[in-house]
Amino acid sequence: MNIQLTPIAIVHNLRIDVEDDNWGEVVSILELDPSMPEDALAGIDDFSHAEIIYYFHLVSDAKIETGARHPRNNTDWPKVGILSQRGKNRPNRLGATLVKILRRAGRQLEVQGLDAIDGTPILDIKPVMREFLPREEVHQPEWATELMKQYWKK
């Protein structure tokens, strides 16, 4: 099966280098692709948050991981499968982040906390609805908590 996706928007922000941490204050403008009508964003600003699905466009084929590795190559953390972490070197190069919606202006959506660099292709934008969030308590291994300590730092 071959799946083909077309970006619906592009990220504009001041982050041009791939970095692992300090994404909390990053403000991005998601600008709709010319193929998308402006009214595709109608009503999105009635929501406080959105889920952004994007493509890690700078990850080369040689960097793709399919098995297990130490997150961020830190041998203090256990070797876990690529599907048990959120690294960018994923088989399909897909990223997903929940962001705060700041405002919509025509073909642009301004958001905060998107961990994608300038020029990143956006594949989908979905409003966050309480009913799609976990209904149970979320738990995770200690290494994941340690890894994320600086991720959203302001």
pLDDT digits (tens, 9 = 90+) for 117-152: 999 999 999 999 999 999 999 999 999 998 888 877
Tokens of 44: 């999105």
Q: Which H helix or E strand runs over 108?
A: strand 108-112
In our burial notation (b when 16+ CB lie closer than 10 A, e otherwise), range 119-128 reads: ebbbbebeeb
pLDDT over 90 at 10, yes or no: yes
Q: How far apart are CA 86 and CA 76, in angstroms?
A: 17
- Average pLDDT (44-53) is 98
What is the pLDDT confidence band of residue 17, given thresholds at 50, 70 and 90? confident
Site of tokens 């959120």:
86
- Average pLDDT (17-27) is 72
pLDDT over 80 at 18, yes or no: no
Return the domain boundaries, the chain: 9-129+138-150
**111 versus 153: which is more confidently predicted?**
111
Angle at 138 between CA 137 and CA 140, to 5 degrees: 140
Q: How far apart are CA 128 and CA 46, in angstroms?
A: 11
Tokens of 31: 């600008």
CA dihedral 117, 9, 1, 61 (to 10 degrees): -20
Q: What is the pTM of this model?
A: 0.92
pLDDT tens for each residue of 86-112: 989 999 999 999 999 999 999 999 999
- Average pLDDT (47-69) is 96
Say if CB 36 and CB 7 are below 8 A apart.
no
- CATH 2.40.30.70, domain 9-129+138-150, yes or no: yes
CA dihedral 139, 145, 148, 150 (to 10 degrees): 140
pLDDT tens for each residue of 28-46: 999 999 999 999 999 999 9
Q: Is 126 helix (H, G, I), strand (E, B) or coil?
A: strand
Predicted local confidence at residue 21, as pLDDT: 61
Q: How far apart are CA 65 and CA 89, in angstroms?
A: 6
pLDDT over 80 at 24, yes or no: no
